Amino acid sequence: MHELSTSSQTKKSPKITNKQLALLLPQYISKVAQQKIETRSGLKFEKVIFDGEKDDFSPNTSVFGEKINQIENLCYIIQSENNNTFGGVICNQINVDPDEDYFLKDDKAFVFNLNGEQSDRYIEGGDIIKFSCVVGSIKNEDYFLGCVDMLFVLVKK
């Protein structure tokens, strides 16, 4: 999960955060894809919020909800076990409730696919999929749920 910042903001992130972003981002997306996502969203990648390789995503102990709580302008990039890369941008603030699932409707949000012929279509315009998402409660084992057109991030048990 990566936080995006508006182009007009001049927030300075800690250097270590910028280094982490510089190391992680190229592992998942090309510079061209990064530029297309930034152009489409009107935002710039700023820092890493959650790294699935390092941060705890285990049932009952995950820090995922804590890390994304109260965050707006969030880009998530997911690489499947089959090396398919996809993700989305959520502009509205996410509010994680420890007891209830949270439904977020965001007219500026979109999902993208970074594999195959459809990559450009999904990032640049065309048939951008507007979506909303459900963030599972902290007690729920399904941490980040669907969007219109079905995107699910679930934890293996």
Closest CA to 146 of 156, 155, 136: 136
Q: What is the DSSP letter of 69?
A: T
pLDDT digits (tens, 9 = 90+) for 66-122: 888 888 998 888 887 787 888 888 888 887 776 766 667 777 877 787 775 555 555
Band of residue 150 on the pLDDT scale cut at 50, 70, 90: very low
The predicted pLDDT at position 105 comes to 73
Residues contacting 30, CB < 8 A, separation 6+: 114
Within 13 Å and on the Cβ side, how many CA atoms surround 104? 29
DSSP letters for 77-142: EEE-TT--EEEEEE-SPP---SSS-EEEEEEEEEEEE-SSTTHHHHHHSTT-EEEEEEEPPTTSS-
Instruction: Please report the pLDDT score of residue 154 as a whole number.
Output: 46
Two structure tokens written together for 102: 């949270």
